[in-house]
């Protein structure tokens, strides 16, 4: 199963993003495909925070626009929403014990741990920081 990171959702939502077209195409391909795909719940929370934050985009998305985007994603019949399982602490502990994770990077480690708990075979992200987690295969769908 492929999971999507926050930045792909943000770029697919914000038409003023330089990555809009590629992100929209990638996300639409998953949403209309025949295979299950996933979004970790924390990525939806982060999406809302990023697109509605004043200064991140001018103008920021309204709360209504952000909520509508999330609702549209949730309509995809093959979307699987990922959250922590009973194995979360052990998987997160293993990641943090073997990888230099400090400060706010714990958020990325949490996303990686959630994906690993659900046997995600690839996380699509434009964030190179995920390369610090060799246990999780990542790919940037925005690059050729």
DSSP for 5-60?
A: -HHHHHHHH-TTSTTHHHHHHHHHHHHTSSS-EEEEHHHHHHHHHHHHSBTTBSSP
Average pLDDT, the chain: 96
Name the token pair of 64. 């209504």
pLDDT tens column, 34-87? 999 999 999 999 999 999 999 999 999 999 999 999 999 999 999 999 999 999
**Distance separating alpha carbons of residues 140 and 58, to the nearest angstrom:** 25
pLDDT for the residue 144: 63
| Full strand arrangement of the beta sheet holding 37-40 | 79-82, 37-40, 2-4, 122-124, 138-139
Q: Taking the domains of the chain in order of start, what are their residue ranges?
A: 2-139
**Distance separating alpha carbons of residues 126 and 13, to the nearest angstrom:** 15
CATH T-level assignment (fold) for domain 2-139: Rossmann fold (3.40.50)
pLDDT for the residue 100: 86
Q: Provide the β-strand partners of residue 81.
A: 39
Report whether pLDDT(95) > 80.
yes
Name the token pair of 82. 């990922």
**Distance separating alpha carbons of residues 73 and 59, to the nearest angstrom:** 22
| CA neighbor of 111 nearest in space, from 11, 43, 36, 10 | 43
């Amino acid at each position: 199963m492929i999971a999507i990171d926050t930045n792909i959702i943000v770029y697919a939502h914000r038409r003023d993003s330089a990555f809009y077209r590629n992100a929209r195409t990638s996300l639409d391909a998953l949403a209309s495909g025949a295979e299950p795909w996933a979004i970790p719940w924390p990525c939806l929370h982060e999406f809302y925070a990023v697109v509605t934050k004043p200064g991140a985009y001018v103008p920021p998305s309204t709360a209504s626009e952000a909520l509508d985007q999330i609702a549209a994603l949730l309509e995809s019949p093959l979307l699987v929403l990922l959250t922590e399982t009973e194995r979360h602490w052990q998987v997160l502990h293993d990641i943090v014990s073997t990888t230099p994770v400090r400060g706010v990077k714990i958020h990325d480690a949490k996303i990686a741990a959630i994906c690993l708990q659900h046997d995600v075979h690839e996380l699509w992200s434009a964030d190179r920081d995920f390369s610090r987690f060799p246990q999780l295969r990542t790919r940037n769908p925005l690059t050729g």
